[in-house]
Structure 1
């Protein structure tokens, strides 16, 4: 399945997240990461839930320091990553340069003081998108669309 996804991440305390080429100073709070997987949505998001993996993308480095609470899987034949990122940016604090190397937005990571689910659901509804929420790698494998 093709599509995009939103990861809901909790960072309990401030952290310095170092990737191969960048350093990000992140405050405690909730973070929303916007991504896409135009080959295998389920496999990509399942990978994000795994604790043991090779660190490749910016998000891998953050997830090694934070708690992935849940993910919104958004099936689509069209890449929605930039549109979703722009919508989330209206409500969250942008973390410049995080995970947006292949898109025309400046970031794909946004900080929220409180859990962002109500905002995200409103965005998805306004865009007329369908989604499923998963909380583990095991739940992803059981999804039936």
Structure 2
């Protein structure tokens, strides 16, 4: 998903969960506050794409390394490895955070500075939690989430 939209990505607006692996401790800048340290491991970032270009444009940006740091999550996607993302056409990022509420919050307020409901839009994804468990939690009454691999190779199960 580095230059062209992923062929399986829903074309319109929606929400998504980006899976990111961090190999080394990473200091995160959150404005004027002290920089918390994110420990190595897997993380899930919940976001939405209701602007121009919808899900393909937003996820295409998250999958790229060469970009200006505009949002909190850009610090992770440029320093870590984007494993892939679950895309949910018409979804709501706060609802996705709620569905994944069984996962720990590593940094309060991360990606949620404009959100009055969520403690954070970043969740730690422990190795003991299988991808199928995350996918099942994301699948609500509406359409099932579509998994998009970080290397742009479609994969049926995640």
**Counterpart check, 1:107 vs 2:120:** yes
Given candidates 77, 86, 89, the residue that maps to 1:63 is: 77
Given candidates 8, 15, 18, the residue that maps to 1:7 is: 18
Q: Which has the higher helix share?
A: 1
CA separation of 1:117/1:69 partners in 2, compared to 1, >3 Å: closer, same or farther? Answer: same
How far apart in 1 are the matches of 2:110 and 2:122?
A: 6
Given that 2:20 and 2:43 are in contact with CA atoms closer than 8 Å, whether structure 1 keeps it comes out as yes
Given that 1:46 and 1:137 are in contact with CA atoms closer than 8 Å, whether structure 2 keeps it comes out as no
Query: Structure 2 unaligned runs (5+)?
Result: 1-11
Given candidates 95, 99, 109, the residue that maps to 1:83 is: 95
Match of 2:29 in 1: 18
Query: Structure 1 unaligned runs (5+)?
Result: 141-145
Given that 2:49 and 2:58 are in contact with CA atoms closer than 8 Å, whether structure 1 keeps it comes out as yes
How far apart in 2 are the matches of 1:80 and 1:42?
A: 16
Secondary structure of 1:4 counterpart: strand
Match of 1:98 in 2: 110
TM-score, normalising length from structure 1? 0.83
How far apart in 2 are the matches of 1:57 and 1:34?
A: 13
CA separation of 1:127/1:16 partners in 2, compared to 1, >3 Å: closer, same or farther? Answer: farther
TM-score, normalising length from structure 2? 0.77
Secondary structure of 1:64 counterpart: helix
